[in-house]
Amino acid sequence: MNKLLPLYRGGVEAWECDQMRHMNVQFYMSKGSDAFAHLQNALGLSPSTIRATRKGLRFKTIRTQYKSEVHAGTALYGMGGIREVSGDILTGFIHIFDAIHGRLSAVYEFTADYADYDTDASLPLPGDIRAAAEELTDPHPDVFHPEPFAGTLMPNRPLDHMFESTRGSVDVWECDQFDHIEMRHVVGYFSDAATHIINAVGLTREIIRSRNLGSAALDYYSEFHAPIRKSTAILLKSGLIGAEKKIFRFGHNLINMDTGELAVTTTVIGVYFDMTTRKSVPLPKEFTDYPAEKLLKAQM
């Protein structure tokens, strides 16, 4: 039995690329979500079953590593599988490959539970789904497995010196058939926040352009604490955790303003790069000069 499953195939459309001239992180997530739907089907959770029961798998955590950038027109494919079933939690992975260069482009390592999509309650894993998952379980030693996330993760609580980086409401067209925000749009909010972070350290897009710089995320770790539904008022607060040499770290708290709940916490590691050579460069001094007392790491 082949336990490494083909879960995605497609490519990079021109309109999925951002000002860094590579595919934006939200579209990686879109392709990862497509792959997750196929993985659910492999576990017995077909689309018709999910529609009938209004229950299915839901991400609890997602670790994302961006291994190599991809550009418009690049053919992509995705593979994935289940690494472990522990209690009612599944641990799995989805890897997106650049088919042109034959290399790994993005890594999703996730945990997921079985949930009621109407009440958002976490439910025991049904016996048939558990059996299917156990049948598919394999540590996949020959498949890339990232090292544990480097550094401290954002705590599930408000921190001082976080600033507003996005404010809005969840539009109907950002939601799935169960009125939950699609994962792509959660990542989209984080992506938009990056420009506000640049601004918060004293940089502008014009300065960035004049220095021929781009920025790229290398590593995300997201924890999902509460649902975000259609037309919810949301607020994203962000802050710089630290900045040394070539690496910056920042944290996001996505807040459901209707309930006041902290819905998602995300820790991001990233770099700046030269837009021509596409190689990482030392951080702009505005990052390394950022007041130490405002860095979130002091509170973590």
Partner 1 sequence: MSGYMESYRGQVLMRECDLLGHMNIQYYGSRISLAMCNMFHIIGMDPDDLKNGKRGLAVVQQDSRYVAELHAGDIIHMESAVVGSSKKTVTVDHRLYNSVDDGLVFASRMTAAYMDLESRKAIPLSDAIRLKLVDLITDGEDVA
Positions in the binding site for partner 1 (CB under 8 A): 6-13, 31, 33-34, 37-38, 41, 46-48, 50-51, 71-78, 99-100, 172-177, 182
Nearest to partner 1 of 95, 237 (CB atom): 95
The DSSP bridge partners found for residue 224 are 264
Please report how close the Cβ of residue 104 comes to partner 1 at its closest, in angstroms.
17
Q: Does residue 298 sit in helix, strand or coil?
A: helix
Closest distance to partner 1 from the beta carbon of 100 (Å): 5
| Beta strands 247-256; 233-244: pairing state | antiparallel
Shortest distance, CB of residue 70 to partner 1, whole angstroms? 9
Task: Provide the minimum distance between the beta carbon of 266 and partner 1 in the complex, in angstroms, as a whole number.
Answer: 23
| For partner 1, the closer CB: 1 or 172 | 172
Taking the C-alpha atoms of residue 185 and residue 191, their distance in angstroms, rounded to an integer, is 9
How near is the Cβ of 170 to partner 1 at its closest, in Å? 12
Nearer to partner 1, 10 or 168 (CB): 10
Nearer to partner 1, 175 or 186 (CB): 175
> If you ran DSSP here, which 8-state letter would residue 15 be given?
G
Nearer to partner 1, 230 or 297 (CB): 230
Closest CA to 211 of 162, 154, 272, 257: 272
Q: In terms of CB distance, is 8 or 110 closer to partner 1?
A: 8
Instruction: Decide if 246 contacts 271 (C-beta within 8 A).
Output: yes
Handedness of CA 37, 17, 214, 97 (dihedral sign): positive
| Residue 55 three-state SS | strand
Dihedral of CA atoms 221, 225, 226, 229 in degrees, nearest 10, equals: 10
- Give the nearest distance from C-beta 75 to partner 1 in angstroms: 4
What is the Cα–Cα distance from 245 to 236, expressed in whole angstroms?
A: 27
Other CB atoms within a 10 A radius of the CB of residue 99 amount to 15
